[in-house]
Amino acid sequence: MTAAKLLRTIRLDPSDTFVFARAAEPGEWAVPGSFLFVDADVETMGPKERTAFRSGFLGVSSFGWSTLAIVTPVTEAEREELLTTLATRLMRDLGAPDIASARHAAAEEIAFAASLCDHPAQTLVAVHRSVEDGELRERFRTLVPRAEALGPEAVKGGFRAFDFFEVDGEDETPTEQVDLLALMKDKA
């Protein structure tokens, strides 16, 4: 039997503290948090809220955002504590009608987070959200340490910490384009 795993927030650099209105603390249990964007209008969001929409995992304790999450083993006691914390936040912050409804919604979100953890512990996970044809779409990517992904011989030719691997069934790569020339003209 494989050990249960869930997501924790991770901060590889301080950028989350600049790009999100509220950054999650490193090491918080995390869920995708897409339920916060069900009725959101991306066009009217501010830049930091839009960044959370596009690429954030929700830290359950702080309700802050993290660009990356890391697959981590979880005990049953930790999972139960996470369920209680998320259900409490759903009632207090989002108006869930009662604890039974809040626990049910929290359990569904945690189960979805667990479904993203079918990878070795310490695998990094990133998300890209968009609205396509009026529906919320999420694409998840994993960043696997190169030695684990390709074997020890793979790192002999030079150091590469991570490789990107496509999620099964994904045929499109999310792209964002930035017109640097236009940005420079705007600054002038």
| pLDDT confidence of residue 144 | 73
Q: In Å, how far are 17, 28, 117, 142, 172 from 167, measured between CA atoms?
A: 28, 24, 12, 8, 10
pLDDT tens readout for residues 120-172:
999 999 999 999 888 899 999 998 766 554 454 444 433 344 444 454 554 55
Residues 8-21 pLDDT 10s: 999 999 999 999 99
Inform me whether the pLDDT recorded for 51 exceeds 70.
Answer: yes
For residue 154, the model assigns a pLDDT of 42
DSSP 34: G
What is each CA distance from 150 to 146, 153, 156, 165, 181, in whole angstroms?
6, 8, 11, 11, 39
According to the model, what pLDDT value does residue 134 have?
Answer: 85
Contact 26, 10 (CB under 8 A): yes
Give the pLDDT band of residue 173 (cuts 50, 70, 90).
very low
Buried b (16+ CB within 10 A) or exposed e, 108-138: ebbeebbebbebeeebbbebebeeeeeeeee
pLDDT at 186: 56
The reported pLDDT for the residue numbered 128 is: 95
Where is pLDDT greater, at 181 or 81? 81
156-165: long-range contacts at Cβ-Cβ below 8 A with a sequence spacing of 24 or more? 162/124, 165/141
Cα distance between residue 106 and residue 178, in whole Å: 37
